[in-house]
Structure 1
Amino acid sequence: MNRFKLIFLLTSLVFVSQVFARPLAVENFKYKKEITVPAKNIEKGIIKVLLDEEFYKHSFYRDLRVTKNGEIIPYRIQNAEEINKYTEKLKPELLFTKKDELEIYVLELPKLPEGMSYSKLTVSSAYDYETSITLKLGDNPDNFSETKNVFLYKYGSQSSGEIDLGNTKYRYVRLEVENGSNLKFPSVTRTKENKNLFIEKTHPVVSPVLEENSVLFTFPNENQTSFQTLKLSFEEKNWERFITIRGKINKKEWDTVFQGTVHHTEKDGLYTEIPISSPLNSEFTIQIEDGENETLHLKEVITIQPLEEILFFAETDSVETKYTLYYGNPYQWAPNFDPYTYPSENDTKERDMIQGKLETEEENPEFGYSLIYPPISGYITTTLFYLGILTLLVFIFSILKSKRLVAKES
């Protein structure tokens, strides 16, 4: 009995190790990029890798996979930003104060330049205190839109000292504080906002094909520029039209990536931005339904691809560690990782970030579709399905034929 239990335990351990050591079927991916990580021994750190234009040209987005020594690594993808560390401190103006059952302070913050926001409010007092503060933010003293509660203290030389304003653009602050706190507000910090990184390309507008009640524009996108947003500019400033955008999939089939009514007025600016349902890197068309209206005059078409980065946990690295990015399979299903296996936003604040780098794209020498993966598995399934139907029809026909012979003999 003990021997049986030992065998069962060893078998279970082998099975569990196989489950956790999840290798990637790399032969299903046409392209790969090695990931260079500069630091060693980065246990508990997070590796961040910026995706490049080569990736967007040949990836189908859901087919992105990362491996470490051949085993799948869970990752999170997010928009890449240009981190701006510029800050400046200014003195807020105290508009009103009242000390009764509660101490009430109303502050006006200096005007904000374009692309900046308020991040922190400095608080001080000549006395030791601890207090709960109700903080309200708004565009004017008559209308406070945001409210949150904050706890502050000062115990001798130790003090919380600052209130996090959450990168707000509101200029008016109201604080309701427990009596006896006697607070002062020497400064407010404003910071430059981070900018999203993106690739932008202008496409020449070709002569359209006039159809009944609509107009069709075709863009070859010869450079295979990938994009997730279209910016359109028309000579007309105010309009409303039903627009359909299609893209070529696998150089053969057309897929609708946007369809709906779009509104534009002069106050919206020069461009109309249209997000598409899935990234495109091929030929695309824009069809505009005019109905009984005059045809719109399209002036400019710009494709925008937001740059993104992937984040994954780093283990203790050794010389033998090899990170690789695989992609290039239109039939690959989207990844489905446990959210606890890749870095969260809190993790990125608490752990060291290591910048990885994608190397030059290579065609995967092991590429070749497997029998158990799409598209070949789909072809096999379809063939077996029709063979099954054919076999069933032959079987039914043979039964009917035998019944007909019996009927004749009787």
Structure 2
Amino acid sequence: MQIYSLITILFSVAMIARPLPIENFKYKKEITIQTKNPSNQIVRVLLDDEFYKHSYYADLRVTKNGEIVPYKIQNAEEISKYTEKLKPELLFTKKDDLEVYVLELPKLPEGMSYSKLTVSSAFDYETSITLKLGDNPDTFFETKNVFLYKYGSQTSGEIDLGNTKYRYVRLEAENGSNLKFPSVTRIKGNKNLYFEKVHPVPNPNLEENSVLFSFPNENQSSFQSLKLSFEEKNWERTITVRAKINKKEWDTVFQGTMNHRENEGTYTEIPISSPVNSEFTIEINDGENETLHLKEVITVQPLEEILFFTDTDSEVQNYVLYYGNPYQWTANFDPYTYPSSDDLREKTPIEAKLGKEMENPEFGYSLIYPPISGYLTTILFYLGIFTLLFFIFSILKSKRLVAKESV
């Protein structure tokens, strides 16, 4: 019973502490939070090019004073604060068993959407509304139910449109609501952030039915997609992109038939199956067609950010980002331990910066972690097989000796 209690206590302490075995990670970066009072807030850290060069993505870990910090990773965006209010046009209204209103919203410029519809009334009311959105008054694609009220000076006042691009709104309210719609708010969408690098186009190697371009990528620029520009405006070709994985073996990271038309712009974008930060090749299969002339190649890496909570557990809070282990499994955190979308709407994250990359002086693979644990498992497996074969051979040999003596 005492032993059981001791094991329970030790297990509980381990669950609370959760230290990271930092010796498994080759690189680290210190995280500096840009505020003097970071307690009980959300921290946003933008990942940089150095990280992508030496990380295997699944190996990203954050620590505070040596203990694991749950995090969320997402594409970084340039947050737009631009909004404007416009007056919708009331196309139709009917007041019968239900009050029906059909609104037409002003045309949207590129990159904008509608976020909120303002509702008012000269009288106190409360009503359930069925809201429908569509491209035209004949067809509505989205439906939601909302509850609105006005009790003196207290009012709900707005309907969340969910950043829609639909321009027609139909509202069905309870009779006696007498609603008016003084304005609709449209916002500019957030812009995804990228860093791009232009690569000089090398002389091609002409093959029987294809042309091959080799890019050394000497700066080890990371990328998750390619943008290609050709002198020809209209074409269709099979394109294969290969890259060196772990600087040793070549692997196909894209293969497929792509087509381009002049009205689609300058570039054709090639998605990559996994992040690349090494030399790569682009092979264009022309078949019986004339050879395409590659004019420009741009590697594109979406910028990403990690978000995590700070707390007040200790006065000293040293945050460090660890990475650089190809054998590390992907982090799997309880979704309640890192910032959710609701948290991000309620709180504005505080910014933090990554320091310069440093090699971890404590780096060295442990016996209980890959790859050494895998080697040990393999050795033990074959040792077990040989031991089993030895015993089987010994038993068979002893049986043969007994058989000879009996003869």
In the superposition, the TM-score normalised over structure 1's length comes to 0.90
- Does the CA contact (< 8 Å) of 1:41 and 1:316 recur in 2? no
- Which deviates more from structure 2 when the two are superposed, residues 24-33 or residues 97-106? 97-106
Q: 1:48 aligns with which of 40, 44, 49?
A: 44
Counterpart in the other structure of 2:183: 187
Counterpart in the other structure of 1:306: 302
Secondary structure of the corresponding residue to residue 326 of structure 1: strand
- Does the CA contact (< 8 Å) of 1:40 and 1:316 recur in 2? no
Q: 1:84 aligns with which of 80, 83, 87?
A: 80
CA 1:166–1:384 in 2, change beyond 3 Å: closer, same or farther?
same
CA 1:80–1:130 in 2, change beyond 3 Å: closer, same or farther?
same
- The Cα of 1:400 is off from its aligned counterpart by 7.5
- The Cα of 1:342 is off from its aligned counterpart by 1.8
- Which deviates more from structure 2 when the two are superposed, residues 64-73 or residues 371-380? 371-380
- The Cα of 1:374 is off from its aligned counterpart by 2.4
- The Cα of 1:239 is off from its aligned counterpart by 3.4
Secondary structure of the corresponding residue to residue 344 of structure 2: helix
Counterpart in the other structure of 1:59: 55
CA 1:191–1:351 in 2, change beyond 3 Å: closer, same or farther?
closer
- The Cα of 1:106 is off from its aligned counterpart by 1.8
Counterpart in the other structure of 2:151: 155
- The Cα of 1:33 is off from its aligned counterpart by 0.7
Structure 1 residue ranges without an equivalent (≥5): none
- Does the CA contact (< 8 Å) of 1:41 and 1:318 recur in 2? no
- The Cα of 1:403 is off from its aligned counterpart by 8.0
Distance 2:348 2:300 in 1: 31
Q: 1:117 aligns with which of 106, 113, 116?
A: 113
Q: Read off the aligned partner of 2:211 and give its amino acid letter.
A: V
- Which deviates more from structure 2 when the two are superposed, residues 14-23 or residues 185-194? 14-23
RMSD over aligned Cα atoms: 2.6
Q: 1:268 aligns with which of 264, 268, 283?
A: 264
Secondary structure of the corresponding residue to residue 140 of structure 2: strand
- Which deviates more from structure 2 when the two are superposed, residues 243-252 or residues 150-159? 243-252
- Which deviates more from structure 2 when the two are superposed, residues 63-72 or residues 283-292? 283-292
Q: 1:199 aligns with which of 181, 195, 211?
A: 195
- The Cα of 1:123 is off from its aligned counterpart by 0.9
Q: Does 1:227 align with 2:256?
A: no
Distance 1:375 1:268 in 2: 47
- The Cα of 1:326 is off from its aligned counterpart by 0.4
Q: Does 1:178 align with 2:174?
A: yes
Secondary structure of the corresponding residue to residue 348 of structure 1: helix
Q: Read off the aligned partner of 1:92 and give its amino acid letter.
A: P
Q: Read off the aligned partner of 1:226 and give its amino acid letter.
A: S
CA 1:379–1:143 in 2, change beyond 3 Å: closer, same or farther?
same
Q: Does 1:252 align with 2:248?
A: yes
Counterpart in the other structure of 1:107: 103
Q: Read off the aligned partner of 1:368 and give its amino acid letter.
A: G
Q: Does 1:320 align with 2:313?
A: no
Secondary structure of the corresponding residue to residue 144 of structure 1: coil
- Does the CA contact (< 8 Å) of 1:42 and 1:317 recur in 2? no
Q: Read off the aligned partner of 1:107 and give its amino acid letter.
A: L
Q: Read off the aligned partner of 2:50 and give its amino acid letter.
A: E
- Which deviates more from structure 2 when the two are superposed, residues 119-128 or residues 391-400? 391-400
Secondary structure of the corresponding residue to residue 141 of structure 2: strand
- Does the CA contact (< 8 Å) of 1:248 and 1:284 recur in 2? yes
- Does the CA contact (< 8 Å) of 1:41 and 1:317 recur in 2? no
Structure 2 residue ranges without an equivalent (≥5): none
Counterpart in the other structure of 1:208: 204
Aligned-residue sequence identity (percent) comes to 79
Counterpart in the other structure of 1:287: 283
CA 1:398–1:264 in 2, change beyond 3 Å: closer, same or farther?
farther
- The Cα of 1:167 is off from its aligned counterpart by 1.3
Counterpart in the other structure of 1:367: 363
Distance 1:401 1:10 in 2: 50
Secondary structure of the corresponding residue to residue 109 of structure 2: coil
CA 1:209–1:394 in 2, change beyond 3 Å: closer, same or farther?
farther
CA 1:352–1:113 in 2, change beyond 3 Å: closer, same or farther?
closer
Distance 1:83 1:289 in 2: 41
Secondary structure of the corresponding residue to residue 347 of structure 1: helix
Counterpart in the other structure of 1:350: 346
- Which deviates more from structure 2 when the two are superposed, residues 381-390 or residues 309-318? 381-390
- Does the CA contact (< 8 Å) of 1:133 and 1:178 recur in 2? yes
Q: Read off the aligned partner of 2:225 and give its amino acid letter.
A: T
- Which deviates more from structure 2 when the two are superposed, residues 137-146 or residues 158-167? 137-146
Pairwise mapping of residues 382-397 of structure 1 onto structure 2 (< 5 A)? 382-387=378-383
Q: Does 1:296 align with 2:265?
A: no
Distance 2:322 2:353 in 1: 14
Q: 2:235 aligns with which of 239, 259, 279?
A: 239
Q: 1:167 aligns with which of 163, 166, 169?
A: 163
Q: Does 1:95 align with 2:59?
A: no
Distance 2:395 2:209 in 1: 57
- Which deviates more from structure 2 when the two are superposed, residues 284-293 or residues 389-398? 389-398
CA 1:318–1:240 in 2, change beyond 3 Å: closer, same or farther?
same
Secondary structure of the corresponding residue to residue 14 of structure 1: helix
- Does the CA contact (< 8 Å) of 1:222 and 1:283 recur in 2? yes
Measured against aligned partners, the alpha-carbon deviations of 1:288-316 in whole angstroms (never above 9, x if no partner) come to 33334333332221111111111112111
